[in-house]
Structure 1
Amino acid sequence: MKNKIEIYRRELNMTQQDLAEKVNVSRQTIISLERGRYNPSIMLAYLIAQVFHKNIEQVFIFEEEGDVE
Protein backbone atom coordinates (compact mmCIF):
# COMPACT_ATOMS: atom_id res chain seq x y z
CA MET A 1 0.00 0.00 0.00
CA LYS A 2 1.31 3.41 -0.93
CA ASN A 3 1.29 6.19 1.63
CA LYS A 4 2.43 9.72 2.34
CA ILE A 5 3.91 9.06 5.78
CA GLU A 6 7.38 10.27 4.89
CA ILE A 7 6.05 13.42 3.21
CA TYR A 8 3.88 14.42 6.17
CA ARG A 9 6.54 13.40 8.69
CA ARG A 10 9.15 15.60 7.01
CA GLU A 11 6.70 18.52 6.81
CA LEU A 12 6.55 18.38 10.62
CA ASN A 13 10.35 18.01 10.93
CA MET A 14 9.72 14.70 12.66
CA THR A 15 12.15 11.78 12.65
CA GLN A 16 11.08 8.19 12.11
CA GLN A 17 11.85 7.61 15.78
CA ASP A 18 9.66 10.56 16.82
CA LEU A 19 6.71 9.17 14.88
CA ALA A 20 7.33 5.65 16.19
CA GLU A 21 7.21 6.90 19.78
CA LYS A 22 4.01 8.86 19.18
CA VAL A 23 2.17 5.79 17.85
CA ASN A 24 3.90 3.26 20.14
CA VAL A 25 5.66 1.14 17.50
CA SER A 26 9.30 0.52 16.62
CA ARG A 27 11.28 2.72 14.24
CA GLN A 28 11.61 -0.37 12.04
CA THR A 29 7.81 -0.47 11.70
CA ILE A 30 7.80 3.14 10.49
CA ILE A 31 10.59 2.34 8.00
CA SER A 32 8.62 -0.64 6.68
CA LEU A 33 5.45 1.44 6.38
CA GLU A 34 7.22 4.23 4.51
CA ARG A 35 8.71 1.73 2.06
CA GLY A 36 5.34 0.08 1.49
CA ARG A 37 6.52 -3.26 2.85
CA TYR A 38 3.93 -3.41 5.60
CA ASN A 39 0.23 -2.60 5.73
CA PRO A 40 -0.83 -1.15 9.07
CA SER A 41 -3.77 -2.24 11.14
CA ILE A 42 -6.72 0.13 10.92
CA MET A 43 -5.91 1.35 14.43
CA LEU A 44 -2.29 2.12 13.57
CA ALA A 45 -3.37 3.86 10.37
CA TYR A 46 -5.79 5.96 12.43
CA LEU A 47 -3.12 6.88 14.99
CA ILE A 48 -0.64 7.90 12.30
CA ALA A 49 -3.27 10.00 10.54
CA GLN A 50 -4.09 11.70 13.87
CA VAL A 51 -0.45 12.67 14.39
CA PHE A 52 -0.52 14.44 11.03
CA HIS A 53 -3.99 15.95 11.62
CA LYS A 54 -5.20 14.17 8.48
CA ASN A 55 -7.77 11.50 7.76
CA ILE A 56 -6.67 7.98 6.88
CA GLU A 57 -7.45 8.45 3.19
CA GLN A 58 -5.09 11.43 3.01
CA VAL A 59 -2.19 9.39 4.38
CA PHE A 60 -2.80 5.94 2.88
CA ILE A 61 -3.57 5.28 -0.77
CA PHE A 62 -5.75 2.19 -1.07
CA GLU A 63 -5.32 0.40 -4.39
CA GLU A 64 -7.73 -2.29 -5.46
CA GLU A 65 -6.24 -5.60 -6.51
CA GLY A 66 -8.02 -6.98 -9.55
CA ASP A 67 -11.64 -6.40 -10.46
CA VAL A 68 -14.18 -6.23 -7.66
CA GLU A 69 -17.72 -7.02 -8.70
Structure 2
Amino acid sequence: MSTRVRDLRLERAWSQAELGERLAVSRQAINAIENGKHDPSLSLAFRIARLFELPVEAIFEQPP
Protein backbone atom coordinates (compact mmCIF):
# COMPACT_ATOMS: atom_id res chain seq x y z
CA MET A 1 0.00 0.00 0.00
CA SER A 2 1.32 3.42 -0.93
CA THR A 3 1.17 6.02 1.82
CA ARG A 4 1.73 9.74 2.32
CA VAL A 5 2.31 9.36 6.06
CA ARG A 6 6.02 10.24 5.89
CA ASP A 7 5.40 13.39 3.82
CA LEU A 8 2.56 14.52 6.07
CA ARG A 9 4.63 13.85 9.20
CA LEU A 10 7.63 15.77 7.83
CA GLU A 11 5.43 18.73 6.82
CA ARG A 12 4.60 19.06 10.52
CA ALA A 13 8.22 18.49 11.62
CA TRP A 14 7.20 15.52 13.76
CA SER A 15 9.53 12.63 14.46
CA GLN A 16 8.31 9.07 14.04
CA ALA A 17 8.23 8.83 17.83
CA GLU A 18 6.08 11.97 18.12
CA LEU A 19 3.62 10.68 15.54
CA GLY A 20 3.54 7.34 17.31
CA GLU A 21 2.73 9.04 20.61
CA ARG A 22 -0.10 11.01 19.01
CA LEU A 23 -1.53 7.76 17.60
CA ALA A 24 -0.72 5.54 20.61
CA VAL A 25 1.52 3.22 18.56
CA SER A 26 5.26 2.59 18.59
CA ARG A 27 7.85 4.42 16.54
CA GLN A 28 8.59 1.06 14.92
CA ALA A 29 4.96 0.79 13.77
CA ILE A 30 5.19 4.22 12.14
CA ASN A 31 8.45 3.25 10.46
CA ALA A 32 6.92 0.03 9.10
CA ILE A 33 3.87 1.89 7.74
CA GLU A 34 6.03 4.57 6.11
CA ASN A 35 8.27 1.96 4.48
CA GLY A 36 5.39 -0.17 3.22
CA LYS A 37 6.34 -3.13 5.42
CA HIS A 38 3.05 -3.03 7.32
CA ASP A 39 -0.46 -1.92 6.42
CA PRO A 40 -2.22 -0.19 9.30
CA SER A 41 -5.41 -1.63 10.71
CA LEU A 42 -8.58 0.07 9.56
CA SER A 43 -8.99 1.81 12.92
CA LEU A 44 -5.38 3.08 12.84
CA ALA A 45 -5.81 4.28 9.25
CA PHE A 46 -8.85 6.31 10.33
CA ARG A 47 -6.97 7.71 13.37
CA ILE A 48 -4.14 8.79 11.05
CA ALA A 49 -6.64 10.43 8.69
CA ARG A 50 -8.33 12.28 11.57
CA LEU A 51 -4.98 13.48 12.91
CA PHE A 52 -3.96 14.87 9.52
CA GLU A 53 -7.50 16.12 8.83
CA LEU A 54 -7.65 14.34 5.49
CA PRO A 55 -9.80 11.57 4.03
CA VAL A 56 -8.27 8.11 4.29
CA GLU A 57 -8.09 7.92 0.49
CA ALA A 58 -5.83 10.99 0.43
CA ILE A 59 -3.26 9.20 2.62
CA PHE A 60 -3.43 5.56 1.56
CA GLU A 61 -3.70 4.10 -1.95
CA GLN A 62 -3.73 0.57 -3.27
CA PRO A 63 -1.10 -0.02 -5.95
CA PRO A 64 -2.47 -0.56 -9.49
TM-score interval, smaller chain: over 0.9
Normalization by structure 2: what TM-score? Answer: 0.93
Q: Which runs of 5+ in 2 are unaligned?
A: none
Based on CA coordinates, which of the two structures has the bigger radius of gyration? 1
Residue 19 (structure 1) aligns with: 19
Q: What's the offset of the Cα at 1:62?
A: 1.8
Normalization by structure 1: what TM-score? Answer: 0.87
Q: Which runs of 5+ in 1 are unaligned?
A: 65-69
Q: Which runs of 4+ in 1 moved over 2 A?
A: none
Alignment of 1:1-69 (within 5 A): 1-63=1-63
Question: When you count helix as a share of all residues, which structure comes out higher?
Answer: 2
- Number of residue pairs aligned between Structure 1 and Structure 2: 64
Distance 1:51 1:14 in 2: 12
